[in-house]
Amino acid sequence: MKVGILSDVHANLPALEAVLADMPPLDKIVCLGDIIGYNPWPAACIDRIRKISVITVQGNHDRNVEKPQRYALNKMAHAGLKYAQKSLSNDQRRWLQDLPRTETIVDDKYLLVHSHPEQEDEYVYPQNFSDLRPYLDNYSGIILGHTHIQHAAKIDGGIIVNPGSVGQPRDGNPHAAYSILDTTSNEISLQRVPYNIDRTYHEIIVEGLPEQTGKRLFKAE
């Protein structure tokens, strides 16, 4: 089975459209959360993910759409959450709130989670992937997002994967990121695709979101 893995879309519709257009034929697509936040297409991105993703787990922005004040010290995050809160329908907000924190796929062989498997909202950077080794006693792979840094590691035959961010990469490469998991071989393919960042930047300015939200997309930092 081949599984497309998306994470951290962050309401960036041009990036999501580019990723979906770039994907080869797949058996299923899953999403690791943070569909909303930062960028100006939260409703459209939710609609697309609901149509194409068989499993979606909840990210921290998804969970906090009703409480943007929790990000008051982060101007970009706070503005994105407030924008999403007023833009989404009641049904879309309920859907975000009802998303599970973790899920599994392929007969429970792969764990899907937005951040750390147990410590909610903890960032697991590539240099810390080895710390997740104990979880591989129960799974063939741990698949997580949150850091916006694309990376994969094979540890004692198991894999730990961050597919990278669709809508706001932070690893120095501005191209939208996603990954493909081959569950037969337990191999991961890390993918990048360019998208129209100028379109996203323009819409950020038009919608009155912080200009820095758009500027950081060009630098991927």
* pTM listed for this prediction: 0.97
Note the pLDDT of residue 201.
98
CATH number, domain containing residue 80: 3.60.21.10
DSSP structure class, residue 71: G
Tokens of 157: 């035959």
Residue 111 bridge partners (DSSP): 104, 142
- How far apart are alpha carbons 190 and 194 in whole angstroms? 14
pLDDT of residue 157: 93
**Phi, psi dihedrals of residue 62, rounded to the nearest 5°:** -60, -45
Q: According to the model, what pLDDT value does residue 57 have?
A: 98
Tokens of 161: 């994967």
Instruction: Write the CB contacts of 221 (distance below 8 Å, at least 6 apart in sequence).
Output: 170, 172
Number of domains in the chain: 1
pLDDT of residue 129: 98
43: nearest Cα among 6, 96, 97: 96
For residue 208, the model assigns a pLDDT of 98
Task: Answer yes or no: are the C-beta atoms of 102 and 56 closer than 8 Å.
Answer: no
The residue range of the domain holding 114 is 2-219
- Residue 88's pLDDT is what? 98
Q: What is the pLDDT of residue 140?
A: 97
Give me the tens of pLDDT residue by residue for the chain, a chain 221 residues long.
999 999 999 999 999 999 999 999 999 999 999 999 999 999 999 999 999 999 999 999 999 999 999 999 999 999 999 999 999 999 999 999 999 999 999 999 999 999 999 999 999 999 999 999 999 999 999 999 999 999 999 999 999 999 999 999 999 999 999 999 999 999 999 999 999 999 999 999 999 999 999 999 999 99
Work out the burial of residue 89: count CB atoms within 10 Å of its CB; fewer than 13 is exposed, 13-18 middle, 19 or more buried: exposed
Please report the pLDDT score of residue 149 as a whole number.
98
Nearest-angstrom CA–CA distance, 26 and 196: 24
Which helix (DSSP H) or strand (DSSP E) does residue 31 occupy?
Answer: strand 28-31
